[in-house]
Amino acid sequence: VYKAPLKSTGDEVAVKVQRPFVLETVSLDLYLARQLGIGLRNFAPSFVTERLDVIDLLDEFAGRFYGELDYVLECENGERVREDMRNLPRVLIPRNYPEVTTRRVHVAEWVDGEKLSQSTADDVAELVNLGVVTYLTQLLDTGFFHADPHPGNLFVLASGEVGLVDFGQVKQISGRTRLLLARLIVALAGRTPPPPSRGAGDSAAS
């Protein structure tokens, strides 16, 4: 990722350039892994193949990985999340620039800050809660969420905002799934702690 000024406007942008031959290398690796999976399917004991279909697992992984290598798709994902989160206070989703983005070059607004996991801000606990609220909003409200929340993708900005970057991995969940998740969270939040255990000398009356 490189920091650069956008020629047309002068905006500071992050330019992510895909390494040469990544697509070809990944394709070869996935092909070889799939050939091994076919051998496992043919020769592994039935109790193994009944529990795990390696080919289906690899095919699912391959589809997601190829999607992550398409920066045009990442740009579209980022703009969709940015629109969904526009009314959430103190949350910055960087602007994307589709007019200068290609499959192998992605251009987005530069986010200048420190990683949330390494922040020394006085209100870091509040900022962490804000990050949680951001993800819960995506999961329970829009159903379209950032699926790669590692520490390198969450920033604390000098403005006191939380910045969320890198939308190569996203996921859409149905309204039914969102409802089930909401019920689960409500159930967990409403659980009462068990009564304290009594010592050997305690009586019911005490």
User: How far, in Å, CA of 160 to CA of 157, rounded?
Assistant: 5
Helix 22-43 / helix 54-68 crossing angle, nearest 10 deg: 170
* Placement of tokens 């959430």 in the chain: 88
What is the C-alpha R_g of the chain? Answer: 23
What does the alpha-carbon distance between residue 102 and residue 109 come to, in Å, rounded to a whole number? 16
Q: Which amino acid is at 116?
A: L
- Give the catalytic positions in this structure: 148
How many angstroms separate the CA atoms of 33 and 129, rounded? 40
Please name the residues in contact with 116: beta carbons below 8 A apart, sequence gap of 6 or more. Answer: 124, 127, 128, 131, 151, 154, 155, 156, 162
How far apart (Å, rounded) are the C-alpha atoms in residues 206 and 204? 5
